[in-house]
Chains A and B, each alone.
Chain A
Amino acid sequence: MSRILEGKNAVITGARQGIGRAIAEAYAENGCGLWVCSRTDDEAFRKDMKELSEKYGVDIRTIFFDMMKEDEIKSAAKEILGSKIPVDILVNNAGATCRSLFQMTSMKTLRDVFEVDFFGPYLFTQLLLRAMMKCSSASIINIVSTAGLDANAGRSAYGSAKAALACFTRVLSAELGTKNIRVNAIAPGVTQTSLLTYDEEQLAEIVADSAQGVIGQPEDIAGSALFLASDSSSFVTGQIIRVDGFVL
């Protein structure tokens, strides 16, 4: 298969595991240079990324920062901007999940979820935009959630934060269209990652409510992230694409 992101560079947050990891591999496989971001530095992640880099012959740089900490976000952005490597693609994937009934959700939990799922990506995007403006075209992809679009009990904090990120996606698409920067979101349904908070019984119920009758895999989300990063989606902007096997 021809490498459809050859010569491009992407920044992916939350790249250590799950959806972020799958996106990193799909991009690397398609010739894309990467900045892979994770909260904590450890050898296993560096080694994993080094192997990806060798396997696909692309440059991969690791960078570590905490989405809860403004100063860390700023210094990470500074490092990326300082490298002078153009940023053609930004994937805001890192997030915090939370399931808690409305009456049981403390303001601290709510603020923490918004910090990681909304304020952090907002600031990070603002800072990286300078590097993206220099590209002839660029693509921003926000990983939201069907929980931000639907009414699921226990999702008042997480769903609202993802809804905020979805709205941010659409507003940004309107502001950046003339700069030839496209902004889209992917709304995964229940996806097989370590963040999965459901027990087997709950999963069976969720699956029964979907047309395909299966939960998603990280690679399913990566397929859409590849599409939205590539020129295949050159006339698609401001969209929120559900990747959920059609929850009924």
Chain B
Amino acid sequence: MKSLEGKTAVITGCLQGIGRAAMDMFARNGANVFACSLKRTEEFENHIEELKNECGVEIIPVYFDMMDDESIKSAVKEIQKAKIPIDALVNIAGTDKDALFQMVKMDDLRSTYQVNVFAQILFSQYIVKLMLRHGKGGSVIFTSSISGLEGRAGQLAYASSKAAIVAAAKTMAAELGTSKIRVNTIAPGFIDTEMYKDVPKETIENKIKRTALKRMGQPEEIASVLMFLASERSSHITGQVIRIDGGKGV
């Protein structure tokens, strides 16, 4: 038996990076996946077809825009229509717009919060409602960031939104514990994804020099932690923030 055999997960941000790695790993471990993405591409749809055939699981792409509450609602309706009970919700999609504090535009701050906080809460509200209906409990995972725990120059909007989601997750964990729904947050460090593609190599090297493992993480190394948190192996872990940062010594 695979560790997620027979389970169904909703994963956001599946187009690339950590979300893509999570979708692949969950499917390969036997889970059905509602693969959420903002963009629909041919590559994405072909990949899903191949993955479905390879793993013998159901993978249903769902497209919606987290900037738009109505779009979130109709995505949930689509998920609900499939009538597959949901065991795990993995919130990965997010946005990052860097600017120094004095330069942060209120519009950017608001849109960052819309995607990284409000949409996460709204979408989770709906999906948790579905989980409560089947009564088997479940696991909800949010994605924060080490900069949400520590702050980082140039990341006021992103870092503070990622701090907000930690408190939201802990509150949900406190409220949903007796319904057997666990809620945890991961805080990735420097992960080799699109997010760092424009960051100069030297900056990255300086940053990873200060970690214990002295390398960037791979998206698969985040996906494997998400699998743990979605599985029964973490059944007594809730309300926690798990740092996946190669050891930062702070």
Please give the residue numbers on chain A whose beta carbons come within 8 Å of chain B beta carbons, in ascending order.
1-2, 170, 173-174, 176-178, 180, 182, 189, 210-214, 216-217, 220-221, 223-224, 226-227, 231-239, 241-246, 248
- Cα of A224 to Cα of B38 in the assembled complex, Å: 34
Contact assessment for A239 and B233 in the assembled complex, using a CB-CB cutoff below 8 Å: no
B132-171 at interface with A (beta carbon < 8 Å): 170
Contact assessment for B212 and A211 in the assembled complex, using a CB-CB cutoff below 8 Å: no
Of the candidate stretches B60-68, B83-91, B241-249, the one touching chain A is B241-249
Given A224-B234, A238-B247, A246-B239, A232–B214 Cβ distance below 8 Å? no
Contact assessment for B242 and A246 in the assembled complex, using a CB-CB cutoff below 8 Å: no
Contact assessment for B237 and A242 in the assembled complex, using a CB-CB cutoff below 8 Å: yes
Query: Which A residues are in CB contact (< 8 Å) with B243?
Result: 236, 238-239
Given A1-B1, A173-B212, A235–B217 Cβ distance below 8 Å? yes
- Cα of A12 to Cα of B161 in the assembled complex, Å: 41
Is B195 positioned at the interface, with any CB of A under 8 Å from its CB? no
Separation in Å of the A166 CB from the closest CB of chain B?
Answer: 14
Given A226-B233, A246-B239, A2–B2 Cβ distance below 8 Å? yes
Contact assessment for A211 and B2 in the assembled complex, using a CB-CB cutoff below 8 Å: no
Q: List 16 A-B contacts (CB under 8 A).
A: A174-B247, A211-B177, A212-B178, A220-B237, A223-B231, A223-B232, A223-B235, A235-B217, A235-B222, A235-B245, A237-B212, A238-B243, A238-B247, A238-B248, A246-B174, A246-B240
> How many Cβ-Cβ contacts under 8 Å join chain A to chain B?
118
Separation in Å of the B28 CB from the closest CB of chain A?
Answer: 11
Separation in Å of the A108 CB from the closest CB of chain B?
Answer: 35
Contact assessment for B2 and A177 in the assembled complex, using a CB-CB cutoff below 8 Å: no
- Cα of A170 to Cα of B249 in the assembled complex, Å: 7
Separation in Å of the A210 CB from the closest CB of chain B?
Answer: 7
- Cα of A234 to Cα of B246 in the assembled complex, Å: 8
Query: Which A residues are in CB contact (< 8 Å) with B218?
Result: 235
For the complex with contacts A212-B238, A248-B174, 6 further pairs of A-B residues with Cβ separation under 8 Å are A174-B249, A176-B212, A220-B235, A227-B225, A238-B243, A246-B238
Contact assessment for B177 and A246 in the assembled complex, using a CB-CB cutoff below 8 Å: yes
Per CB-CB distance, the 9 closest pairs between chain A and chain B, nearest first, are A177-B212, A211-B177, A246-B239, A223-B233, A220-B236, A235-B221, A238-B247, A237-B247, A232-B224
Of A180, A227, A235, chain B has the most CB atoms within 10 Å of the CB of: A235
Separation in Å of the B227 CB from the closest CB of chain A?
Answer: 7
When C-beta atoms are compared, the residue in chain A nearest to B170 turns out to be A246
CB < 8 Å neighbour of A177 from B182, B239, B246: B246
Contact assessment for B225 and A233 in the assembled complex, using a CB-CB cutoff below 8 Å: yes
